[in-house]
Amino acid sequence: MGTGLRTNDSTIVTAFHSALLHQGLIVLFILAVAGVTLNALRSLQFRRAASAGSAPPSPPAERPPESPARRLLRISFGLIWLFDGILQGQASMPLGLVPQGIQPTAAASPTWVQHVVNAGATAWTFHPVQAAAASVWIQIGIGLWLLIVPRGRWSRLGGLASLGWGLVVWVFGEAFGGIFGPGLTWLFGAPGAVLFYCAAGALIALPERVWATARPGRIVLRVLGVFFVAMAVLQAWPGRGFWSGHARAGVVGTLTGMVRAMARTPQPRVLSTWVGSFEAFDAAHGWGVNLFVVVALAAIGVAFLRARPRLALFAVVATVIVCVADWVLVEDFGFFGGVGTDPNSMIPMALVCVAGYVALVQPTELARAGVVPIVRTGTDTGSWRERLVTNPGYAFRFIAALAAIGIVLVGAVPMAVAAASPNADPILDTAVDGAPNTLHSAAPSFSLVNQRGRAVSLPSLHGKTIALTFLDPVCTSDCPIIAQEFRRADQMLGGNAKNVELVAIDANPRFTSRYDLVAFDDQENLNHVANWLYLTGSLPELRRLWDAYGILVGYASGGAMIAHSDTAYVINAHGDLRYVLNADPGGATAATESSFAAVLANSIKSTIGGS
């Protein structure tokens, strides 16, 4: 998996920034339209009120305030989604996220998890620019949605969007938070930061009347209680390397090793000093540190399971303290090092705990203060069109939600369109090989024999568009890949393939027999490709063609294969050269191979269209 390109490849980074810029302009346009629409609606409301001789409409005064717990979740997770969206804009995201972020997590998980994660990773590596840009706008859109749409169905829909996208990120981006991997521990962020985003989204999506009782708070705290107890059991489990800082024979303890790795992440010096100090402390007192963690997690879990306000308060305070400590000293803030996409799990976890506590105690206090549960008011009823022109609050929520959905779609639609194609983005090949160059000259003629021993010449192929390359039949690396790329390009041509001949000319000065070509075709399963021609001839004729097409062929020393240029040409139906492509497979990943095939297919289609 991956693209084989450097994460800071300038072609991809430039394209990513360009995509963000263009999509950012569309986002600005959406915001402008939303502002104008809102203003127009407000004017309409004023005109209607003036014509009716009444005061301008205002939000209904009798509506009770939003539940504090819900507001806490909505605003805090809205800010976190915004922050995550900004982190997704890092230049290394398109090419770096899969190999540096997703794959290492998935690699430690069972095979079925890797299969699931690979499906998402493939979509990302085939379309890295669209995927990275989509993540930026989807997360910024959800963040704004949660922040600026406080009430009603549109706000709850924002919670559902947070839940849905969070699940996508948790499964494909975090490999289920690594919960099926062998090193699961609360200290390293189990069960994954985004699962808390999902939890928060689900809570925000609940009907607002639910928040009028202490029940959601009690459930949240009890679920967290079970989670903390389970994490304490795991933490105490022997043989997992947490009970010692330094294991025997100089092997570093699990926590020490993790902290050491984090300390080496690029970051401000002061932070690495803190983390390094904790690493030394844990190396010296690993048993004590783990005992503290086990006891703390177990105590917090038991307190949450009781779900009593006084006990829960202590547990929440303890949770916030240990979460912040872990966030700073173990997770190292989570977002340094290039492909950090979120601040890791401790802050979201602490926020859900606090919200659960607030939800537990706040309804009682509101009841004491005489605040009534939420009820529908006059301006909250009627059709949505009516409410739009009569209720300013509804109009704002409606327009703001539409704007947020628009921002999400700015990222999601191009990605969805790209993902619908089984072929990788051509820009990957551009990054590897550069763009195809156009040519306008007659193709050097040839007269050779094909793999079946039949004579084939350039004039005999007139009327067909030709994709031409030079392959060594006993090549051990590039040539089989290029042959498969040609075959894939042929499949991409669909109905156009009947007007195309895929032609390879032997590029090995010793293995020039047609039997060599047959062995290669058999190996690459090209025998059944109807328009595949692998040509050979006398060595002088082959040398003339190599020179004419600019193919450098030479013996290499020391047991290396024959060195030759990886080049492809597209020749039109009249025998004229139209395109020359660098066919070097580069890292030869599935993504770059598909991308080259797409570029070749596009060049062939363009030639067919221009013939």
Partner 1 sequence: MPSRRSGRAIVALCGALIVATGVGIRSGAPGAAGTPLVTSIPTPLATSIGSSSGTWATLPMGRTNQPRNTFWQLFFQPAGATSWTDEVGATATATNGGLVLATAAGRPFIAGIRPANLLRFSPLISTTDGGVTWTNGVLPRGLSAHPDSLSAASDGRTLALVNSGADARVLVSSGSLSIWRTLVTARSLATQRGGRSCEPHSVSGVASLDGNPVVGADCARAGVVGIFAQGGGGWTRDGPTLPDALGRGRVQVLTMARTPTGLSALLGIAQGSGTALVAAWEANGTWTVSSSLTLGPGGPIVSFGPAGGAGYFVLSRTASGATRLAAIDGPDVHWVQLPPPPRHSATIAFAPATASAIEALTNTATTMTVWSLPSGSGNWVKSQVLHVNIKFGSSS
Per rule CB under 8 A, is residue 421 in the interface with partner 1? no
Considering the complex, state which of residue 48 and residue 240 has its C-beta at the smaller distance from partner 1.
240
CB of 563 to partner 1, least distance (A): 8
Considering the complex, state which of residue 157 and residue 562 has its C-beta at the smaller distance from partner 1.
562
Considering the complex, state which of residue 117 and residue 604 has its C-beta at the smaller distance from partner 1.
117
What would the x/- binding string for partner 1 be over residues 148 to 187, using CB under 8 A? -------------------------------xxxx-x---
What's the CA gap between 141 and 121, in Å, rounded? 23
Binds partner 1 by CB under 8 A, chosen from 10, 43, 277, 477: 477
Contacting partner 1 within 510-539 (CB under 8 A): 510-511, 513, 515-516, 519, 522-523
Per rule CB under 8 A, is residue 287 in the interface with partner 1? no
- Give the count of beta carbons closer than 10 Å to the beta carbon of residue 498: 10
DSSP 216-249: HHHHHHHHHHHHHHHHHHHHH-TTSS-S-SB-GG
Binds partner 1 by CB under 8 A, chosen from 476, 495, 530, 609: 476
What's the CA gap between 382 and 393, in Å, rounded? 14
CB of 475 to partner 1, least distance (A): 7
Stretch that binds partner 1, among 315-323, 430-438, 479-487, 492-500 (CB under 8 A): 479-487
Stretch that binds partner 1, among 222-230, 355-363, 380-388, 599-607 (CB under 8 A): 222-230
Closest CA to 221 of 379, 101, 69: 69
Binds partner 1 by CB under 8 A, chosen from 219, 280, 299, 371: 219
> What's 372's DSSP letter?
P
Q: Is the Cβ–Cβ distance between 126 and 1 less than 8 Å? A: no
Per rule CB under 8 A, is residue 251 in the interface with partner 1? no
Residue 38 token pair: 């809102």
Considering the complex, state which of residue 398 and residue 511 has its C-beta at the smaller distance from partner 1.
511
Contacting partner 1 within 89-128 (CB under 8 A): 108-110
Stretch that binds partner 1, among 142-150, 408-416, 476-484, 530-538 (CB under 8 A): 476-484
Q: Is the Cβ–Cβ distance between 485 and 599 less than 8 Å? A: no
DSSP 457-511: ETGGGTTSEEEEEEE-TT-SSHHHHHHHHHHHHHHHHGGGGGGEEEEEEE--SS-
Peptide bond into 191 cis (omega under 30): yes
Instruction: Encode 242-253: b = buried (16+ Cβ within 10 Å), e = exposed.
Output: bbbbeeeeeebb
Binds partner 1 by CB under 8 A, chosen from 290, 508, 567, 582: 508
Per rule CB under 8 A, is residue 233 in the interface with partner 1? yes
Total of residues contacting partner 1 (CB under 8 A): 48
CB of 364 to partner 1, least distance (A): 16
Per rule CB under 8 A, is residue 36 in the interface with partner 1? no
Per rule CB under 8 A, is residue 227 in the interface with partner 1? yes
Closest CA to 366 of 66, 60, 75, 59: 66
Per rule CB under 8 A, is residue 300 in the interface with partner 1? no
What's the CA gap between 420 and 59, in Å, rounded? 44
Per rule CB under 8 A, is residue 369 in the interface with partner 1? no
The residue type of 494 is G
Closest CA to 228 of 356, 107, 79: 356
Per rule CB under 8 A, is residue 472 in the interface with partner 1? yes
According to DSSP H, which parts of 88-214 are helical?
93-96, 103-107, 111-126, 128-148, 152-168, 193-204
Residue 152 token pair: 């009603």
Considering the complex, state which of residue 283 and residue 483 has its C-beta at the smaller distance from partner 1.
483
Per rule CB under 8 A, is residue 222 in the interface with partner 1? yes
The binding site for partner 1 (CB under 8 A) comprises 108-110, 179-182, 184, 215, 218-219, 222-223, 226-227, 230, 233-234, 237, 240, 305, 472, 474-477, 479-481, 508-511, 513, 515-516, 519, 522-523, 555-563
